[in-house]
Structure 1
Amino acid sequence: MFSYLAHRRACYAKQEERRARIESLPAVYRTPLTASDKDVLAKPIAAIVTDVQKGALKPRDVLAAYGKAALKAHAATNCLTEVFIQEAESSAESCNTKGPLAGMPVSLKDEISVAGVDACIGYSAWVGIKQQDSALARLLRDAGAVPYVKTNVPITMLSFECANDVFGATTNPHNRNYVPGGSSGGEAALIAFGGSRVGVGSDGAGSVRLPSHYSGVYTIKASSYRFLKSGNAHTSVPGEQGVGVAFSPMARTLGDLETFWRAVMSMEPWEYDSSVLALPWREVDLSSQKSIRWGVMWDDGVVAPSPACNRALQTVVKTLEAHGHQVVTVDPPSPAEGLKLASQLLMADGAKRCTNPIRPGETNDPAMRAALGMFRAPRLFKTLYAWYLRYVARDPLYADLVAAWSEKSVAEYCALVFQRDAYRERWHAYMKEQGLDFILTVPNSLPAVPHGGMKEGWKACGYTFLFNLLDYSAGVLPVTHVDRLRDALGPFKPRNAIERGQYKMYDADKMHGLPVGVQVVGRRLQEEKVLEGMKLIQRLLEEDGKAYAPLSMAG
């Protein structure tokens, strides 16, 4: 009882603090966007930085425009957690106006530590623990950037939804009945709405790529040790090594994403964070390659892409083929095996780390509630259930997963790491044998799901989770929107329980207008090459009149 009361008090206190911070802002932040504000919001990051460096634009004016837009985005989607715009005004006044991010406001996922504010990531037990600047925050300030808000996440940060008791649920800016993605869902909602041009999230199973797909923004998930991550005091899976978590930027446009990546790398991030590889940004010219070979993974063998997601992938493939590119269908080492391995490694502790901070009475995420029920069930029950699935329900794929979901001993964990490394070797050999430059696939089998959808969808994360297991660089770019006529579901017979659960949520009529993206995957530490592949695809789509239409800035 006392713990539950402490939980409710912490949630109330945090929500009141957020409300008070917003209400105490200077009146200018509650006024309509002016013509000059709109002009600032329309500028790409490169233009803002250039104008600030030349003295043609004041950092305070840039912050005012983005502060207003962020509050509008929050009013529409409930995307913000920490609002420190007033403190950011001082930062804007004294920022490095010659730096590669001079005067640019940058939003951050709640997990990323910023001096003087919380990083509770939706756990009420962690409310009120003020942080120091992480390595990323220090680098951004030195580069001239101005951190100003942090954004919402799902409790445990192991879900594609975005809700917790402390801050509430964040909604998709395209349709409030749907989620913006997770766990970097608040970032995606803020950026898609126009309240930020660039922010940083983290990705352990798809947590920057799924929100980008669901909300219609751009990202490249870095390989491990390419982007800064140290100095963040609170995370839901501390010490995770089986499946690496990579912090990575998300942006409103592909040009903004490139500008930010280049700016961060120009600051030599390995000097701020000892875990970052001393690997400067490399120039990649795809036009100098005689032949680019694109491999298409149409189906991961677990859940077939929905009509909307398949159409987006078809659009990219047909565009590449029409422009003379070599595109081949691939059959790589079993993605289903990768899903089984990845899920065991990430949850090797039986989900204890991510659930230990949860207080009695605190609402857990639908995905984690479902996962915990499976992980904590007695082994005898799971053995019998797996037998039923395999021999009665004729669902061997789901049977294999169920049988494997349990807390691991150290010996079992080490054996899984050994299997992971062997699996990576098989993929490495396959990519070389096939001469593949990129893998093209969907980011998920569905567009954004309705709130509560992860109760069914938590197992259907293979299209992104696979590339965390492999530690490959992987980007997502929005391509189209769901169309209720073209993307209607015809006769369909699910192959397994995971597919059945996913397709319960697919409704092209209700999903009409939601963004749909495509995933572009390179090998490990090929962030520059993936960026160039994304740029090539976007340029060809634009030439063919198929450019993606984002939401108008600030709604």
Structure 2
Amino acid sequence: MVFFLDYIQHKRDCKFKQNERAERIRGLTQYHGPFTTQDRDIINKPIEELVNEVHDGALQPIDLLRTYGKVAVKAHEKTNCLTEVMISAAEGWITDGSINLKGPLAGIPVSLKDTINVGGFDSTVGYSSFVGNKPVEDGPHTKILKDAGAIPYVKTNMPITLLSFESTNDVWGRCTNPHNNKYSPGGSTGGEAALLALGGRIGIGSDVAGSVRAPAHFSGIYSLRCSTGRWPKGGFATSMPGQEGVPSVYSPMTRTLDDLTYFTRAMVGMQPWKYDHSVHPLPWRPEIEEEYASKEKFRIGVMRTDGVVDPSPACIRAIEETEVALRREGHEIVEIDPPSPYEALQLGALLLNADGCKVFKSFFRFGEWNDPGADQMDFFMRLPRPLKYVYYLWVKYVRRDDVWAGLVKDWHEKSVFEQWQLVSKRETYRAKWFDWWNKVDVDFLLTPPNATPAVPHDGMKDAVSSCGYTFLFNLVDYTCGVMPVTHVDKHLDRLPSNFNIKKLNGVAQGAYKLYDAEAMHGLPVGIQIVGRRLEEEKVLAIMKRIENALGDERYQLLDID
């Protein structure tokens, strides 16, 4: 009886939030209809020009809000990307003095991952048990944004548990890819990516294994994975409170690279360490930005594979096109052999789930849908250890798959003693990378952001472990940027005729079950630029150099309807 009542409450809370969202959108009478000439002008103007016009009084913040509110409504109709719709409240913030319209982001609407706390609005994380958890006050992110002049106006969809490259939950429904509705926009910050691809300006997400980078790659936008301590972290809801084995970081996402740089510079310039104790008092360093904006010759290390899942033809082509552009500019490409990325995948997976998946499961109600990727992790965690060991022996010695066997072998809840040992191994691994980079002496790494383009819906059941290209750099805490380069081409990106999926390890098989160049035709494909820890200025400057090197071959953004 208790379970039945729990399920009934779950269904009621989901229906309540969906009805509330629909009612708020219906009430936005001035935010429906086609884009006007002014709307298109605002969407296409550089951010700095918009801010200057607000400062000068030539442009009113309400005009910016109405344009981007209209963008959000249209994007939601297409992809189901929104959760909390705060536009009506934002109209009041503009007029009541809540927003500093003299700041460096004056009048710029900014969307937020659903997890970020805004006073008076829920942060559900897709759990129905979190419905009604609205904080009284804004969290640090929201306070900084308002003090900088930005307008928080919508929150966006994500996967329940936050442990997926998809963005689906019972509370808000399924978010779809803006290029192809049969595919995921990415996760866990997928709603942001869908909105930004369809004309949104700036968003903030979080990343624990690639959660701002996979959405950028899947949806065709730009993102920066900041190192821990460079960006505010406080004032949010999460599925895994207390998880610090692989710390989650909040980071920016944008439609354009210029916006990504401007926004990051502006946020760091707001001295976020005065808002959030977790932020290092490290000001923006323009001299580093300038150094890499003008450096004549880069030495670039290309990581062609993580040794677990070789990149698909589409992702190989994106790397190769970038290489060609960089060589044309006179830069040096270096083949590298870094410390084992597979070791990082093993360590990171165990650290992230050292609790036996108990914490993220503790928030579920009876009958609540679980992400298929997270469900797979939980299934193997719950498998009795004697049975799991037999399975491990079969995988290792019968299937002869050392990769999958190595991931399964120790997949169980850890004691405090075991957790401390894992953290010690993490620090040893970080030291290996530190020493290796010093020896190889490259300016940055160029890698795929993922082995494949976007996954089809519910594909994470098969591809849950295929996250090594991003997860690796969470473990070592390096600064990474992802930028779109091309689109999947059904002719150029086919698998070879002799491709045999059965010869792959279990992780790679899961990823390649989902790869179909014809079905994926037109999906975005990105690249990942990796710097060392706390090198945000450098990575952004290098991304700009790459975009300039690509020239007319650079990625074309989605048209705004």
**What TM-score do you get using the length of structure 1 for normalisation?**
0.98
Superposed, 1:114-513 pairs within 5 Å as: 114-131=118-135, 132-194=137-199, 196-232=200-236, 234-283=237-286, 284=288, 285-286=291-292, 289=295, 291-490=297-496, 491-493=498-500, 494-513=503-522
Alignment pair present for 1:13 and 2:28: no
Equivalent position SS for 2:6: helix
Equivalent position SS for 1:449: coil
Question: Using the alignment, how far apart are the partners of 1:433 and 1:107 within structure 2?
Answer: 41
Question: Using the alignment, how far apart are the partners of 2:203 and 2:455 within structure 1?
Answer: 23
Question: Using the alignment, how far apart are the partners of 2:166 and 2:73 within structure 1?
Answer: 21
Q: CA deviation at 1:288?
A: 5.0
Tell me which residue corresponds to 2:59.
57
1:273-305 per-position Cα deviation (integer Å, ceiling 9, x unaligned): 111000001122225546421100101110010
Tell me which residue corresponds to 1:47.
49
Q: CA deviation at 1:546?
A: 0.8
CA contact (8 A) 2:112 2:152 kept: yes
CA contact (8 A) 2:297 2:330 kept: no
Question: Using the alignment, how far apart are the partners of 1:266 and 1:481 within structure 2?
Answer: 35
Question: Using the alignment, how far apart are the partners of 1:192 and 1:364 within structure 2?
Answer: 26
Deviates more, 1:181-190 or 1:259-268: 259-268
Equivalent of residue 107 in structure 1, options 96, 108, 111: 111
Q: CA deviation at 1:44?
A: 2.4
Equivalent position SS for 1:147: strand
Equivalent of residue 551 in structure 1, options 545, 555, 558: 558
1:397-426 per-position Cα deviation (integer Å, ceiling 9, x unaligned): 110100021100000000000000000111
Question: Using the alignment, how far apart are the partners of 1:404 and 1:330 within structure 2?
Answer: 29
CA pair 339-451 structure 1, distance change in 2 beyond 3 A: same
* Residue identity (%): 52
Question: Using the alignment, how far apart are the partners of 1:97 and 1:4 within structure 2?
Answer: 46
Q: CA deviation at 1:432?
A: 0.5
Question: Using the alignment, how far apart are the partners of 2:7 and 2:251 within structure 1?
Answer: 35
Deviates more, 1:88-97 or 1:143-152: 88-97
Question: Using the alignment, how far apart are the partners of 2:462 and 2:336 within structure 1?
Answer: 28
Equivalent position SS for 2:308: coil
CA contact (8 A) 2:293 2:542 kept: no
CA contact (8 A) 2:213 2:449 kept: yes
Q: Aligned Cα RMSD in Å? A: 1.0
Question: Using the alignment, how far apart are the partners of 1:92 and 1:171 within structure 2?
Answer: 31
Question: Using the alignment, how far apart are the partners of 2:383 and 2:209 within structure 1?
Answer: 23
Matching residue's letter, 1:530: V
Alignment pair present for 1:525 and 2:534: yes
Equivalent position SS for 2:559: coil
Q: Which runs of 5+ in 1 are unaligned?
A: none
Question: Using the alignment, how far apart are the partners of 1:368 and 1:76 within structure 2?
Answer: 26
Question: Using the alignment, how far apart are the partners of 1:420 and 1:99 within structure 2?
Answer: 40
Equivalent of residue 89 in structure 1, options 82, 88, 91: 91
Deviates more, 1:156-165 or 1:492-501: 492-501
Equivalent position SS for 1:153: coil
Matching residue's letter, 1:162: S
Question: Using the alignment, how far apart are the partners of 2:431 and 2:231 within structure 1?
Answer: 24
Question: Using the alignment, how far apart are the partners of 2:115 and 2:212 within structure 1?
Answer: 13
Question: Using the alignment, how far apart are the partners of 1:79 and 1:315 within structure 2?
Answer: 31
Tell me which residue corresponds to 1:3.
6
Matching residue's letter, 1:548: Y
Equivalent position SS for 2:192: helix
Q: Which runs of 5+ in 2 are unaligned?
A: none
Question: Using the alignment, how far apart are the partners of 1:287 and 1:99 within structure 2?
Answer: 26
CA pair 243-150 structure 1, distance change in 2 beyond 3 A: same
Matching residue's letter, 1:49: V
Matching residue's letter, 1:472: Y
CA contact (8 A) 1:340 1:404 kept: no
Q: CA deviation at 1:91?
A: 1.6
Q: CA deviation at 1:31?
A: 2.5
Q: CA deviation at 1:495?
A: 2.5
CA contact (8 A) 1:478 1:516 kept: yes
CA contact (8 A) 2:232 2:250 kept: yes
**What TM-score do you get using the length of structure 2 for normalisation?**
0.97
Matching residue's letter, 2:375: R
Tell me which residue corresponds to 1:537.
546
Tell me which residue corresponds to 1:516.
525
1:131-185 per-position Cα deviation (integer Å, ceiling 9, x unaligned): 2211010010011110000000000000001000000000000000000000000
CA contact (8 A) 1:63 1:92 kept: no
CA contact (8 A) 2:225 2:480 kept: yes
Q: CA deviation at 1:338?
A: 0.6
CA pair 514-288 structure 1, distance change in 2 beyond 3 A: closer
